[in-house]
Amino acid sequence: MHETVTISIGECGNNIGAQFWRDCCTQSDLSVSGHSLHPQVSPPSHLFEEQVSSRFVPRAILLDSDPGTLANIRNSDLGFLFPPSAYISGSYGAGNSFGNGCYDPDLLELIQEPLQNQIRIHAEKCDQTPNFNLFHSLGGGTGSGTTAFVLMRLKEEYNTSVFNCSVLPEPDACVVSPYNCILGLNYLIESSSAVLCIDNGYLTAKLGIGEINQYTSRQLVGMFESEKWWIPKYDQDAAYYQRHFYHSETMWKGEIVTSCLVSDTGAKVIQEIDFGNTKLYNSGVIQSIKQQLDRFDLMFKRKSFVYGHSKCMDEFEYVEASERAHELLEIYEKCEDSTLTTNKQIE
């Protein structure tokens, strides 16, 4: 199986990453410092690199503009699982601004070189060009903006499959979250091979944040450890498959939980991938993307907060991001007529 390098980005991405690696260790009979508890069982080699004396190190990079989240992980029981070089941070957060996360020269000066070095070192240890997993929120400045920056670098230098686990903001998240979300979405449309959408707006009504992370991690572990795990390489010509925005269904505490609020009237499913406990559905009726886009358009029409939000950006990027998001939703609407449609009712 293709080796996979996982990059957790921003606070949310690193919280999900921490839970994910903890669960991967449990699943593979590793201690939280990566030592094998049952030497006859090996963890999946696409996720872990084997070092001397039955120690396994995640193929992982932990990235944040703000050093606080990474310090928490480093000081936790998971701290020794990752080598010191895996932690890459700036000196202050992106302040909920996509522009800061993506373009702030002070931030890029601190993170760009170590990030590129770490990716290269991981890639050199892989048999073939690795795939990448990116975990992040779309509501935060780092989660949206720095993820966009990473996506551009990966596309330029590696041109391989990139899977995103992207957390959509809840309605009462920061007021500029719709800007971050739609600006970030533009880069996902452009460069990601597959996006698993986790909708905080929908899930926070049912679960606490810790539980959402456990639930998210469970899906990710189920997918990546499955024999069936695969992501198609991003392909510009494949009209449907470049629109890979999935939601999932997983068994969670005896109930089937879905990761996103889908249409009230039932979702049009273009593609279904079954990983056993977790099923992915490629469906364009993820309501919160629509809601975020409506809020984006309303705010941008009035130019609300644009001045403070777009310090490092051209306003044209807002216009383009809105157009791309509308186009994405329209493409999904057209899929209604497609032969791939099964009209399976999700809820």
Ligand X SMILES: Nc1nc2c(ncn2[C@@H]2O[C@H](COP(=O)(O)OP(=O)(O)OP(=O)(O)O)[C@@H](O)[C@H]2O)c(=O)[nH]1
Give residues in contact with Mg ion (CB under 5 A): 11, 66, 93
Structure token pair of residue 235: 């392909």
Contact call for residue 70 and ligand X (CB under 6 A): no
Based on CB atoms, which residue is closest to Mg ion, 90 or 93? Answer: 93
| From ligand X, Mg ion, none, interface partner of 43 (C-beta below 5 to 8 A by class) | none
Contact call for residue 140 and ligand X (CB under 6 A): yes
Contact call for residue 188 and ligand X (CB under 6 A): no
As beta bridge partners, residue 168 has 199
Cβ pair 260, 199 in contact under 8 A: yes
Contact call for residue 142 and ligand X (CB under 6 A): yes
Q: How many CB atoms lie within 10 A of CB 215?
A: 20
Contact call for residue 93 and ligand X (CB under 6 A): yes
Q: How far apart are CA 190 and CA 9, in angstroms?
A: 19
Residue nearest to ligand X (CB): 140
Based on CB atoms, which residue is closest to ligand X, 43 or 139? Answer: 139
| From Mg ion, ligand X, none, interface partner of 167 (C-beta below 5 to 8 A by class) | ligand X
Q: How far apart are CA 186 and CA 289, in angstroms?
A: 12
Based on CB atoms, which residue is closest to Mg ion, 93 or 222? Answer: 93
Work out the angle at residue 219's Cα, subtended by the Cα atoms of residues 292 and 143, and round it to the nearest 5 degrees. Answer: 40
Contact call for residue 66 and ligand X (CB under 6 A): yes
- Can you tell me which of 6, 213, 217, 219 binds ligand X, judged by CB under 6 A? 213
As beta bridge partners, residue 282 has 246, 271
For residue 327, give the nearest of 138, 165, 185, 216 by alpha carbon: 185
- Can you tell me which of 110, 152, 209, 306 binds ligand X, judged by CB under 6 A? 209
For residue 313, give the nearest of 195, 191, 182, 192 by alpha carbon: 182
Cβ pair 216, 266 in contact under 8 A: no
Cβ pair 94, 71 in contact under 8 A: no
User: What DSSP element (H or E) covers 292?
Assistant: helix 287-301
Q: How far apart are CA 235 and CA 232, in angstroms?
A: 8
Which range binds ligand X by CB under 6 A, 5-13, 266-274, 279-287, 311-319? 5-13
Residue 333: CA count within 13 A, CB half-sphere: 8
Amino acid at 272: E
- Can you tell me which of 25, 162, 167, 183 binds ligand X, judged by CB under 6 A? 167
Based on CB atoms, which residue is closest to Mg ion, 143 or 284? Answer: 143
Give residue 257's Cα distance to chain centre: 19
Contact call for residue 285 and ligand X (CB under 6 A): no
| From ligand X, Mg ion, none, interface partner of 12 (C-beta below 5 to 8 A by class) | ligand X
Based on CB atoms, which residue is closest to Mg ion, 93 or 145? Answer: 93
- Can you tell me which of 141, 178, 184, 222 binds ligand X, judged by CB under 6 A? 141
Which range binds ligand X by CB under 6 A, 93-101, 226-234, 267-275, 318-326? 93-101
- Provide the binding-site residues for ligand X, judged by CB under 6 A: 10-12, 15, 65-66, 93-96, 101, 137, 139-143, 167, 169-170, 173, 200, 209, 212-213
